[in-house]
Copies of this chain bind each other. A is one copy, B any other.
Amino acid sequence: MIFLRYAKTIHKKMKRVSLKDIAREAGVSTTTVSFVLNGKAREKRISEAVCQRVQELVCALKYKPNQVARGLRTGQTKTIGLMVEDISNNFFATLARIIEDEADRHGYKVLYCSTENNTEKAKELLQMLHHRQIDGYIITPTNGIEEEIRELLQHKRPMVLIDRYFPEIPTNYVMVDNFRGAYMATEYLIKSGYRKIGIVTLASEQVQMQDRLEGFMAAMHQYKLPVRKYDLKKIPFEQQREKTVQEIVRFLRPATRPEAVFFTTNYLGIYGLEAIKQLGIPVPEELAVISYDDHDLFRLHNPSITCMAQPIAEIGRQVVQVLVREMEEQNGNGNGNGNVNVNQLVLPASLVVRSSCALQEWVI
């Protein structure tokens, strides 16, 4: 049985037990306790007896180290910063969940924040994450944030970009092959017999959107199909839902209506379905629909919507893995050389064939 000399005091003050308390109870120094707790008992050759005694007290008093103090001391907060475009977006929310689980397996917790795709906000958030001493960054970069990314790189802060990247900056990233995905989506439409194909995308300079547009263009070009100016609709990112829907309605007006539309993000697809519903256009009879990104809605919509799905779980797993490796590397050895290889993963998107494009027998 362990005699807790100070237990009463501790309880009365409702104060958390600290390492010092354990040391005092055990009649050893804080160093010893610290060593035992950090698994350095062997290395530091702490006697078995002391070791045991400390462990018992830790359990008895339910001692848990104060992460903040430890963070201050070691510089490691065991926290990952997750900067996404918008955590309420299905894609990012699902990703956040995977990242949470995966990070947890390595002992990390996640602080999230949404940029709204706003450069200024993103910069501030990066600052904030820095001041909170997070150990690693998972970033959905906005435009105009190159400078800050470069700085993080220079300071050798563990970091992985997701969803998009800067071709001119050698960072880690985990991406989906947007060009190929868009190409495949478009090719699928073409092979399904459509020739007048429209695209609704974001008016964005970001690579991932550019790539999708280019993938579309490449496929159209490959099959020698024209893309007229009214076949291409670019929606400003910040634009309100209502307005967007209206613009899509206009885009789909009978006069210039394409035979098939490709929406380059899932929410554009959702808005698009809204517009289509308003117009009462039968899908796929009068208009075939394909979207980038999957969504519950696409599966259940009537008709169900064919799409290019991103391997979200895989992205989440990979991104954490890369990040953790880098954090531990930085931790283990100073690695003055800085010759850490960058990890640039490009995962394939996959075509999910459903019923919004007539020809369903076609197999990729």
A-to-B contact residues, CB < 8 Å: 14, 64-69, 71-72, 77, 79, 86-90, 93-94, 96-97, 100-101, 109-114, 127-128, 130-133, 155, 270, 273-274, 277, 295-297, 299-302
Contact = CB atoms under 8 A, between A and B. Distances in A.
Contacts of A66: 72, 131, 133
Contacts of A87: 87, 93, 96-97, 100
Contacts of A297: 296-297, 300-301
Nearest to A81: B109
A169 B46 CA distance: 46
**A-B CB proximity, top 10 nearest:** A93-B93, A88-B97, A297-B297, A302-B302, A88-B94, A68-B71, A88-B93, A68-B133, A67-B132, A68-B72
Contacts of A112: 96, 100, 110, 112
Contacts of A64: 127, 130-131
Contact of A128 (B97, B109, B127, B273): B109
A89 B90 CA distance: 8
A130 to B, nearest CB: 8
A270 B112 CA distance: 27
Nearest to A300: B273
Contacts of A113: 100, 109-110
A246 B97 CA distance: 26
Which of A68, A100, A131, A302 has the most chain B CB within a 10 Å cutoff? A68
Contact of A300 (B77, B89, B110, B277): B277
A139 to B, nearest CB: 16
Contacts of A132: 67-68, 109
A21 B101 CA distance: 40
Contact of A296 (B65, B114, B270): B270
Contacts of A90: 90, 93
B155 A14 contact: yes
